[in-house]
A and B are shown apart, each in its own frame.
Chain A
Amino acid sequence: MGQSRREFLKIAGLGFGGIAVTAPLINWANGAINTDRLPAEDFISRTPTYCEICFWKCAGWVYKNEKNDIWKIIGNDDDQHCNGRLCPRGTGGVGMYYDEDRLKTPLIRKTINGKQQFVEASWDEALTVVAENLAKIRAEHGPECVALFTHGSGGKFFGDLLNAYGSNSITAPSFAQCRGPREVAFMSTFGDVIASPERTDIRDTKCLVLIGSHIGENMHNGQVQEMSDAIDKGATIITVDPRFSTAASKSKYWLPIKPATDIALLLAWTHEIIYNDWYDKKYVEKYCYGFDELKEHVKTFTPEWAYGITTIKPHIIRETAKEMANASPAVIVHPGRHVTWYGDDTQRLRAVAILNALLGSWGRRGGFYNPDRASLPSYPHPEFPKPSKTWRDAHPGLYNLALEVVANDICDSTIPSPDRACNFKGWIVNGTNLIFTLPDQRKTLQAIQNLEFMVVIDTMPMEITGYADVILPECTYLERYDYCRTDQNRQPSIALRMPATPPKYDSKPSWWMVKELSKKMGLEQYFQWNNIEELLDWQLKQVGSSLEEMQRIGVKNLPRTDDYLYSGDGEDIEFNTNTGKIELFATDLQNEGFDPMPVYTPHPEPQAGFYRLNYGRNPAHTFSRTANNPNLTDLLDENTLWVNPIVAKEWGLKPGQPVWLENQDGIISTFAIKVRITERIRHDSVYMVHGFGHTEKQLTRSYGKGISDTEMITNVMTDPIMGGTGMRGNFVTFKLENPHLTKKEVAS
Chain B
Amino acid sequence: MRYAMAVDTKKCVGCSDCVVACQTENNVPIGYCRDWIVEVTDGTYPQLEMEIRSERCNHCDNSPCVRCCPTGASHYSDGGIVLVTKDMCIGCGACIASCPYDARYPHPDGYVDKCTFCIHRVQKGQNPACVEVCPTKCLYFGDLDDPNSDVSNVLKKRKFKTLIPEAGTKPQLYFLI
Contact = CB atoms under 8 A, between A and B. Distances in A.
Most chain B CB neighbours (cut-off 10 Å) among A82, A216, A644: A216
Contact of B137 (A75, A228, A679): A228
A510 B49 CA distance: 48
A616 interface: no
Interface in B115-164: 124, 132-138
Nearest to A701: B30
Interface residues on A, range: 35 or more
A256 B16 contact: no
B133 A85 contact: yes
Nearest to A682: B45
B37 to A, nearest CB: 9
A72 B132 CA distance: 13
B165 interface: no
A739 interface: no
B48 A244 contact: yes
Interface stretch (A121-129, A279-287, A301-309, A628-636): A628-636
A221 B11 contact: no
A85 B130 CA distance: 10
Interface residues on B, range: 20 to 34
Interface in A218-265: 219, 221, 224-225, 227-229, 231-232, 244, 246, 248-250, 254, 256
Interface string B1-38: 00000000011011111011101110000110100000
B129 to A, nearest CB: 8
B25 A216 contact: no
Given A244-B50, A246-B52, A250-B10, A635 B44 contact: no
Interface stretch (A86-94, A167-175, A290-298): A86-94
A228 B136 contact: yes
A619 interface: yes
B30 A631 contact: yes
B135 A620 contact: no
A249 B135 contact: no
Contacts of B46: 244, 254, 256
A680 interface: yes
A267 interface: no
Most chain B CB neighbours (cut-off 10 Å) among A84, A91, A92, A246: A91
Given A228-B11, A231-B11, A244-B45, A249 B133 contact: no
A86 B136 CA distance: 11
Interface in A61-82: 71-75, 82
Contacts of A88: 15-17, 19-20
A619 B37 CA distance: 12
A72 B24 contact: yes
Contact of A94 (B15, B17, B24): B24
A71 B24 contact: yes
A653 B130 CA distance: 37
A516 interface: no
B154 to A, nearest CB: 10
Interface string B41-69: 10111101110100000000000000000
B13 A246 contact: yes
Contacts, number: 119
A513 B19 CA distance: 37
A634 B133 contact: no
A632 B19 CA distance: 10
Interface in A629-685: 630-632, 634-635, 644-645, 678-683
Contact of A224 (B19, B25, B49, B136): B136
A150 B16 CA distance: 29
A679 B43 CA distance: 8
Contacts of B10: 231, 250
A85 B24 contact: no
A253 to B, nearest CB: 11
Given A72-B25, A631-B24, A85 B135 contact: yes
Interface string A414-442: 00000000000000000000000000000
B30 A644 contact: no
Contact of A216 (B15, B24, B44, B48): B15
B15 A85 contact: no
Contacts of A72: 21, 24-25
A634 B45 contact: no
A549 interface: no
Contact of B11 (A91, A92, A232): A232
A679 B45 contact: yes
A463 B148 CA distance: 54
A631 B45 contact: no
Most chain A CB neighbours (cut-off 10 Å) among B13, B31, B138: B13
A217 interface: yes
A15 interface: no
A620 B50 CA distance: 19
A680 B48 CA distance: 8
A680 B45 contact: yes
Contacts of A92: 20, 24
A84 B14 CA distance: 19
Given A219-B15, A244-B50, A630-B30, 11 more contacts: A71-B24, A72-B21, A87-B135, A91-B133, A231-B11, A246-B52, A249-B48, A249-B52, A256-B45, A635-B19, A644-B45
18 contacts: A82-B135, A88-B17, A88-B19, A94-B24, A221-B135, A228-B137, A244-B46, A248-B48, A249-B49, A256-B45, A256-B46, A619-B16, A631-B24, A631-B30, A632-B20, A679-B45, A680-B48, A680-B50
Interface of B: 10-11, 13-17, 19-21, 23-25, 30-31, 33, 41, 43-46, 48-50, 52, 124, 132-138
Interface of A: 39, 71-75, 82, 84-88, 91-92, 94, 216-217, 219, 221, 224-225, 227-229, 231-232, 244, 246, 248-250, 254, 256, 619-620, 630-632, 634-635, 644-645, 678-683
